[in-house]
Each structure stands twice: as C-alpha cells, then as structure tokens.
Structure 1
Amino acid sequence: MTAALVAGLLAGYGIAIPVGGVGAYLVAVTARNGWRTGAGAALGVATADGVYALLAVAGGSALVPVLAPVMTPLRWASAVVLAVLAVRAGWMALAAYRTGGLASRDDGGTLTPGRAYLTFLGITTLNPMTVIYFAALILATGPSAPATPVDRTAFVLAALVASASWQLFLALGGTLLGRTLTGPRGRLGTALASSTLIVVLAVRLVVQG
C-alpha cells in the first residue's frame, strides 16, 4: 500500500505541476475573486484528475483506444473554451477599468466557489490526456502496478491529494498576486497579461497535439 501511495503522489504531481492554460486561468480567477473562489476552482481541477486516475486504474488500457479517436476534438474544445474565457476576462477587466470598477475585487466577473468548482471541473474534464497519462504510468510499472482494491484506492486518493495540494498552491499564488497588485492599473495589467498567456497556452495545446 505504501508503494501505491508513493506512486499515486508522484503521478498526481506529475500531471498537476506543468502549468498550462487551466493553471494560468486558476491563478487569474483567484487574483480577481479571492481565496475561497480559487480554492473551489482548485478542487474542481483536482476532482477531474482524481476521476481520471480512478478510470485509469479501473481499466485505463481499455480506455486508451476508445479515447484516441476523440482526442483531437476534445483538445480543440478545451482550447476554445479556455480562449473564450480568457478573452471574456480581459474584455471585462478593460471595461471595468474604464468605469473605475477595478478598484475592488468585483470586476464584473466574480465567481462563487461553487461555480468556480464546476467551471474548472468541466474545463479539466475536456482533457482526456490525463487518463491516458495515468494509464500509461500504470502499464509501464507492469507487475508492480496497483492490483488489489486497497492499492488502487490508495493510488487514486494519493493522486487526488497531490493534485489538490498543487492546485491550492496555485490558488494561494493568485491570492497573493491579487493582494499585492490592488491598484486599478496593476489589476488591469495582470488581467490582460493572464488572458494573453491563457490564449497562447490554448493555441499551443492544439498545435502541439
């Protein structure tokens, strides 16, 4: 069971640490809306990672050929959703700045923790590469892969905890960013910079696919 826990932690951090479009958007949302909303978003991402880890240990090798034909459409869908959210956030930040609304946390795009959770759960679920990642790791370990129900449960929970801890760390970074750049120009600059970064990462998601 210890080996399964370690493997799950390593797998969870391995999929979570590379900061892509979702991670950048998580930081931006937290900076604009505060820690509670960021935490909800972080747990949404972690939930999707946990579900995909569960699917992988339950039969990832069988899911890979099923998911392969829809990988490209889902990758495009994920990129489009991220790009639309980024452009919307940038546009609303610019409009709020012009009317003086960026002096507070509410820039017209405030999310509740519950909405943030569902939004980020949906965005992350659009990336089936996560389940293929977990499945590949499990297949690569061969005989040492988690085989018993206890080991599989330990692997999934460890992957979930690892992902959640990293996403919450990103949310904390967003909180500190929001507190540091409290002026209207600072908040506008970070909003536009994050939106630009998210769009670039979304384009790379499609190009590199």
Structure 2
Amino acid sequence: MSELMTPTLAGAAAGLGVAMPMGAMSVLLLQEAMRDRRTAVAAAAGIAAVDLGYAALATALGPWVASHISPVEAWVRLASAVILLVIAARGLAGARPPGVGAAASDSGLGASAGSGSGAGSGAGQVGVFVQARPGKAFVRYVGLTALNPTTALYFAALTTAQGAALRTGAAGGAFLLGVGAASLLWQQALVTLGSLAGTRIPDRARIWTFRLGYGLVAAYAVKIALPLP
C-alpha cells in the first residue's frame, strides 16, 4: 500500500498544479455558485472530469512512449521538464497585480481545470451563462474546459517523464486517483467560496492562486528533470 502513496501524492500535486491558477473558468464557476449551488457542483465536476480524462489519456500513452525511448530517457525527462517550466514561467509572469504589465488572466494553463485565459473576460460573460440544470451545466463546463489543449500537454509531459514509475496499472491508477481527487476538491472549494461569499474573489487572492499553482508546476518540473543527463 505504501508504494502507491508516492504516485497518489504525485497525482494530487499534478492535479492542484493544473487546477489552482484561476482565470475565466474559475470566475464562471464562482458566479455559478452565487446563483445556484447545485448547478455549480455539477459544473465543478465537469471541470475535474476533463482534468481526469486528459490525465488518463496521458497516463495510458506515457509509459508506452517511455518504454520505447529508454536509451534517451534522461533527455526525454529533461525535455518534459523544460515544457513544464515554460508553462510555469508564462503563468508566473502573468501573475501580476492589476495595472502592472499583462494581466494574470492571459496565462494559458489556467484555461484548463478551473481557470482559463482571460479571467476578466469571464466576468463579462455572466449574461451568457444563465442558470441551467445540473446535467446541462456539467456538459457545458466539460466542453468549455476541454477547449484548452495546454492541459493535455501538461499531463503528457508529466506522464512521459515518469513512464517507468507509472508503468504498472496500480501506480497509474493511484496517480489518476490523486489527480481527480485534488482537482475535484479544489473546484468544489471554489463552489463553497462562491456560495458563501456572494462577491467576486479579490484580485490579490486570485494572483496568489496563480503563484501557488504555477509554483507547483515548476517544482514538479525540477523533480522530474533530476538526475540530469
């Protein structure tokens, strides 16, 4: 059981890394929660489902890719780490207070699980997302979240770099459990915040979610890059 703890925790860190940066999808989810909690719960589940789906696809292919390129495994890990560092750097560069350079909402990774490019644009779209039944909200948020390919790239880089560690079904399942649980818990936390607060989350708090989320991505990149080729 203890040998599954490592991939589970790795999956949880990966899930939080992709879910925490807040952008348009997070703003929409908060607004959904202010209108109707049941609908927002379904919407949050839709966002987490896309994270889990992308992670499952990458986990299925990552070990296969890694097993066929074992002679250059260290270089593959390094290339994956570079991709993750670029994603993290772009996100951190955008995590600035309002009026200082580019807005944090312009970051790419955020458009996936619970965030998205253009957090400010989410506020402008309130009228478009009228209250719907939970089932329709789930489908709608799945579609909106899946539009950003950066999440797929993120998980592909992670799982390819960890191909050997995720080669067994148990380890891969534990990794996916961590991803799904972390993403879902974060989205549901936003629903709770939205339903309780009733107002837009402060810009400073949103910026710190960017910094924490992309900080996790950067730390993960360093972890998989070592030892260097």
Could you give the per-residue CA deviations for residues 94-113 of structure 1, whole angstroms, max 9, x where no partner exists? xxxxxxxxxxxxxx922221
* Conserved? CA contact 2:42–2:134, under 8 Å: yes
Displacement of 1:174 after TM fit? 0.9
Could you give the per-residue CA deviations for residues 155-194 of structure 1, whole angstroms, max 9, x where no partner exists? 112101110000000111110123xx6xxxxxxxx5xx99
Could you give the per-residue CA deviations for residues 33-71 of structure 1, whole angstroms, max 9, x where no partner exists? x21111101000000000000011011586xxxxxxxxx
Structure 1 alignment gaps of length 5 or more: 63-71, 93-107, 182-189, 198-209
* Conserved? CA contact 2:23–2:117, under 8 Å: no
Cα distance change on mapping 1:175 and 1:132 into 2, 3 Å = same
SS at match of 1:19: coil
Based on CA coordinates, which of the two structures has the bigger radius of gyration? 1
Mapped partners of 1:117, 1:142: distance in 2: 32
Name the residue aligned to 2:167.
Answer: 147
Mapped partners of 2:194, 2:38: distance in 1: 11
- Show the 5 A alignment for 1:90-169: 90=127, 109-141=130-162, 143=164, 145-169=165-189
Cα distance change on mapping 1:79 and 1:5 into 2, 3 Å = closer
Residue 126 of structure 2, aligned match among 89, 99, 109: 89
Cα distance change on mapping 1:53 and 1:142 into 2, 3 Å = closer
TM-score by length of 2: 0.57
AA aligned opposite 1:172: T
Could you give the per-residue CA deviations for residues 130-157 of structure 1, whole angstroms, max 9, x where no partner exists? 12111211233454x3110111111112
Name the residue aligned to 1:58.
Answer: 60
Identity between Structure 1 and Structure 2 (%)? 36
Name the residue aligned to 2:87.
Answer: none
Structure 2 alignment gaps of length 5 or more: 66-107, 207-229
What is the aligned-residue RMSD (CA, Å)? 3.2
* Conserved? CA contact 2:28–2:126, under 8 Å: no
Mapped partners of 2:162, 2:56: distance in 1: 16
Does residue 23 of the first structure (1) align with residue 44 of the second (2)? no
> How many equivalent residue pairs?
152
